[in-house]
Amino acid sequence: MSRITKMLARCMPALLVLSTLLLAGCHFGGKKPQVLTSTMKDQFDLTIQAYKNNQFELDGAVLSALDLGSHFAYLKEQGQLPKSVLLERSDDSKIRKRHLEYLARLVLDYHFTGYYDDGGQLRRVDPVGTKARQLEDYHAPVHAESSQGSGMSAGGGGGAPGAPGGM
């Protein structure tokens, strides 16, 4: 009887290693199924596109992030707020980090689920992981003129002659 228990005690570590390898082999290579954006596009309540200069395109209209936020406020007021929104790249621009930050802000403010197209794969916008950015209006680049002539004298007085600090 003692021979059987000794033999079982010697085989037990080998059985433990073998069963661990068997379980690891079953799990190895298991991937989550990837969802392609092209097949899921029709299942979203609203689809917007990323546009140049951190703007968005919605139904053919180019909107700043602030304008898009106003659109969502209007939809909320009308009781037509979407439950799921897809952000995809447009012909003119790819999805940039700023687009995702603005979308994360909208997700936080209006409580919908945001998704974006990441190279054909569908990804969910994580408002906690993505730095949600304050919505901003679009300002076109302005080329400042160099106008130094403001009427001030070199002494800094700038007042009428005869007045204190004047000439």
Interval 113-119 mean pLDDT: 88
How confident is residue 117, by pLDDT bands cut at 50, 70 and 90?
A: confident
CA–CA separation, 124 vs 119, rounded Å? 13
Q: Is residue 100 assigned to a domain?
A: yes
Range of the domain at 113: 37-124
Count the domains in the chain.
1
Q: Is residue 102 assigned to a domain?
A: yes
Q: Is residue 19 assigned to a domain?
A: no
Q: In this structure, are residues 66 and 115 in contact, taking their beta carbons and an 8 Å threshold?
A: no
Q: In this structure, are residues 88 and 117 in contact, taking their beta carbons and an 8 Å threshold?
A: yes
CA–CA separation, 141 vs 135, rounded Å? 18
Q: Is residue 113 assigned to a domain?
A: yes
Q: Is residue 136 assigned to a domain?
A: no
Interval 108-119 mean pLDDT: 88
Indicate the pTM of the whole model: 0.58
